[in-house]
């Protein structure tokens, strides 16, 4: 016994004596040696006794407090909180679903508007192509309207073979007249009608006859411009109640 | 049914699983808070806050980092610290000492004279007069001595001695290395022995003599 006790000195004993009963510790591993040392060494023996007394007192306290529990009120509060959290969670889910549905509806609406605009612009392109075809120099008469043009009965008695087209509610336009240097009809395909305001004197360059006194006025006209930018045909546009000047 | 399963069911909205989990885990949290604060109202508030946090932020619990128990003790510790920062004098026992004594007295009957010796803890050949420590007075003395320990030491004593946690479990709850827990516990025990010895010697002579 004394031989074993010599294997542990007081310093080592003090290191481990508080955990002799705690599994997994070095104190637990060297428990027997520590006890032997304590038997042989009065000072370490006293330490061990004090430690055991403390262990005992602590276990008493632990046992005394083992049945301490929070009041049932806390459990009730927590259950209420859990129910509210559950409710809030389901509300959040519903809100999320609404948000997703709203976003989907917005996307569908945007798509619908896009498709509608595309169809409308397709119709406009067709109208333009129709206008180009009508304004072809080969026919000799440009009868295409810019947009929604229709013959106004009251205005059609001015010239035979020339129909007045209503380009707007307030304006009237004559038929397109090919300009003298117009290319072949194919050149105007894919072109565009451009509204211009120009001095009346400039009309002469498009082959429109003018008198000298009219030279300073400015007039509106629609030009059919080919893809390369060359004017192919022209028509004058006059406001309501104003008669064509040529 | 383990904690993980109960927790998953709780997340799915099962109230009964939460109730089971609460009833299983709350006494230790409550005791820890009460030993640490010495105040029943604070202990109840902290217990409630711990489980409220579990309900609201259950995703913060990561099983890879420790057990649910350690997680809950960690939350309790944070709440206690926040309280102490708000009201520093709430650590002091005297105001609530009477309340605690009443509580201890109510519980004394069951554990009287038969401290748990489970856990494989065998007594050393040195005999201690147990009846000296089974009295309510002694229990109160020990509790008050614990209450006067510095916070870090008190945590180590409450978790390792009163809640019988291993060093590893306590380290996880206290978010510190195992070695730190061990050294804090050693120092805390030495301080406790000193305090108890100063007040009234632990009668080693008679204990050893028998």
Write the DSSP assignment of A113-142 as a string of letters: HHHHHHHHHHHHHHHHHHHHHHT-TTTS-B
The reply to whether residue A78 touches residue B120, judged by beta carbons under 8 angstroms, is: no
List A196's β-bridge partners, or say none.
A221
Closest CB from B114, B128, B163 relative to A49: B128
When pLDDT is averaged across residues A94-111 and rounded to a whole number, the result is 88
Q: Which residue of B has its CA nearest to A62?
A: B162
pLDDT of A55 higher than 50? yes
pLDDT tens-digit profile of A228-245? 788 888 888 876 544 444
The reply to whether residue A60 touches residue B133, judged by beta carbons under 8 angstroms, is: yes
Residue A169 backbone phi and psi in degrees, to 5: -65, -30
d(CA A49, CA B208): 7
The reply to whether residue B52 touches residue A63, judged by beta carbons under 8 angstroms, is: no
ipTM score of complex = 0.73
Tokens representing B161?
């001695």
pLDDT of B201 higher than 60? no
Q: Please, are residues B155 and B174 in contact by the beta-carbon 8 Å criterion?
A: yes
Chain B closest CA to A95's CA: distance in Å?
19
Tokens 């209420």 belong to residue: A80
pLDDT for position A159: 38
When pLDDT is averaged across residues A102-117 and rounded to a whole number, the result is 88
When pLDDT is averaged across residues B15-38 and rounded to a whole number, the result is 93
pLDDT of B192 higher than 80? yes
The reply to whether residue B126 touches residue A70, judged by beta carbons under 8 angstroms, is: no
The reply to whether residue B124 touches residue A48, judged by beta carbons under 8 angstroms, is: yes
pLDDT of B182 higher than 70? yes
- Alpha-carbon separation of residue B129 from A46, B109, B114, B132, B209 (angstroms): 14, 19, 13, 6, 10
Who has greater pLDDT, B134 or A139? B134
Q: Which of A137-151, B77-91, B138-152 has the lowest mean pLDDT?
A: A137-151
d(CA B128, CA B209): 9
Tokens representing A79?
């259950």
pLDDT of A21 higher than 50? yes
> What sign has the CA pseudo-torsion B179, B180, B182, B183?
positive
Q: Is the pTM of this model over 0.80?
A: no
d(CA B141, CA B134): 11
The segment with the largest mean pLDDT, out of A6-10, A79-83, B48-52, B100-104, is B48-52
Please work out, in degrees rounded to the nearest 5, the angle formed at the alpha carbon of residue B107 by the alpha carbons of A49 and B188: 35
d(CA B1, CA B21): 10
pLDDT of B92 higher than 60? no
Tokens representing A55?
């262990």
Closest CB from B34, B108, B186 relative to A68: B34
Angle between helices B178-199 and A42-64 (to 10 degrees): 100
Q: Tell me what percent of the residues of chain A surpass a pLDDT of 90.
A: 6
Chain B closest CA to A5's CA: distance in Å?
15
Chain A closest CA to B27's CA: distance in Å?
5
Question: Does B10 contact chain A (CB < 8 Å)?
Answer: yes
d(CA A38, CA A61): 26
The reply to whether residue A25 touches residue B47, judged by beta carbons under 8 angstroms, is: no
pLDDT of B80 higher than 60? yes
**Contact partners, residue A7, CB within 8 Å, separation at least 6:** A33
d(CA B75, CA B127): 40
Q: State the CB neighbour count (10 A cutoff) for residue A80.
A: 10
pLDDT of B28 higher than 70? yes
Tokens 């009251």 belong to residue: A154
When pLDDT is averaged across residues B147-175 and rounded to a whole number, the result is 92
**Residues of chain B with C-beta less than 8 angstroms from the C-beta of A74:** 26, 44, 47-48, 51
Report how many Cβ contacts below 8 Å link chain A to chain B: 164
pLDDT for position B99: 55
Q: Please, are residues A221 and A235 in contact by the beta-carbon 8 Å criterion?
A: yes
pLDDT for position B138: 78
3-state class (DSSP) for residue B104: helix
Question: Does B93 contact chain A (CB < 8 Å)?
Answer: no
Question: Does B82 contact chain A (CB < 8 Å)?
Answer: no
pLDDT for position A135: 45
Residue A193 backbone phi and psi in degrees, to 5: -95, 130
pLDDT of A151 higher than 60? no
Q: Which helix (H) or strand (E) holds A233?
A: strand A231-239
When pLDDT is averaged across residues B163-176 and rounded to a whole number, the result is 91
Q: Which of A12-21, A219-228, B186-195 has the lowest mean pLDDT?
A: A219-228
Tokens 């217990």 belong to residue: B47
Tokens 């004017």 belong to residue: A231
Band of pLDDT at residue B180, cut at 50, 70 and 90? very high
Q: Which residue of A has its CA nearest to B105?
A: A64
Chain B closest CA to A100's CA: distance in Å?
23
The reply to whether residue A49 touches residue B22, judged by beta carbons under 8 angstroms, is: no
Q: State the CB neighbour count (10 A cutoff) for residue B52.
A: 18
Who has greater pLDDT, A197 or B182? B182
Tokens representing A131?
């206008």
Determine what percent of chain A falls in helix, strand and coil, rounding each to the nearest 5: 55, 15, 30
Closest CB from A64, A65, A78 relative to B22: A78
């Amino acid at each position: 016994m004394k031989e074993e006790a010599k294997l542990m000195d007081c310093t080592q004993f003090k290191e481990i004596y508080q955990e002799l009963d705690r599994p997994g510790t070095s104190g637990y591993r060297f428990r027997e040696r520590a006890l032997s040392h304590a038997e042989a060494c009065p000072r370490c023996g006293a330490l061990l006794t004090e430690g055991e007394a403390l262990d005992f007192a602590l276990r008493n306290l632990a046992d005394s407090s083992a049945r301490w529990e929070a009041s049932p009120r806390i459990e009730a509060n927590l259950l209420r909180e859990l129910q509210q959290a559950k409710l809030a969670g389901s509300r959040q889910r519903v809100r999320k679903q609404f948000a997703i549905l709203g976003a989907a509806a917005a996307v569908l609406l945007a798509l619908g508007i896009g498709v509608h605009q595309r169809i409308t612009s397709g119709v406009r392109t067709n109208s333009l192509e129709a206008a180009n075809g009508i304004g072809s120099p080969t026919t000799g008469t440009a009868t295409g309207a810019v947009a929604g043009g229709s013959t106004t009965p009251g205005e059609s008695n001015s010239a035979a073979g020339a129909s007045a087209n209503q380009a707007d509610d307030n304006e009237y336009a004559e038929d397109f007249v090919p300009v003298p240097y117009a290319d072949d009809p194919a050149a105007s395909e894919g072109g565009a009608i451009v509204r211009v305001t120009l001095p009346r004197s400039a009309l002469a360059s498009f082959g429109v006859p003018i008198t000298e006194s009219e030279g300073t006025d400015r007039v509106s006209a629609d030009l059919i411009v080919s893809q390369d930018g060359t004017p192919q045909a022209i028509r004058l546009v006059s406001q309501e109640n104003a008669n064509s000047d040529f | 049914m383990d904690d993980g399963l109960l927790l998953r069911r709780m997340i799915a909205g099962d109230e009964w699983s939460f109730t089971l989990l609460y009833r299983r885990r709350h006494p230790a949290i409550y005791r820890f808070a009460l030993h640490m604060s010495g105040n029943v109202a604070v202990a109840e508030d902290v217990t409630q806050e711990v489980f409220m946090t579990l309900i609201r932020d259950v995703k913060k619990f990561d099983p890879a980092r420790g057990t649910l128990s350690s997680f809950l003790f960690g939350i309790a510790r944070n709440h206690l610290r926040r309280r102490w920062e708000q009201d520093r004098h709430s650590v002091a026992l005297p105001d609530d000492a009477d309340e605690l004594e009443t509580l201890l007295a109510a519980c004394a009957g069951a554990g009287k004279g038969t401290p748990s010796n489970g856990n494989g803890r065998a007594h050393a050949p040195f005999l201690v007069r147990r009846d000296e420590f089974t009295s309510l007075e002694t229990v109160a003395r020990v509790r008050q001595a614990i209450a006067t320990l510095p916070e870090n030491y008190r945590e180590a004593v409450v978790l390792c001695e009163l809640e019988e946690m291993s060093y590893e479990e306590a380290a996880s709850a206290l978010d510190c290395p195992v070695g730190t827990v061990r050294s804090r516990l050693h120092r805390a025990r030495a301080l406790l022995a000193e305090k108890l010895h100063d007040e009234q010697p632990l009668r080693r002579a008679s204990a050893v003599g028998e």
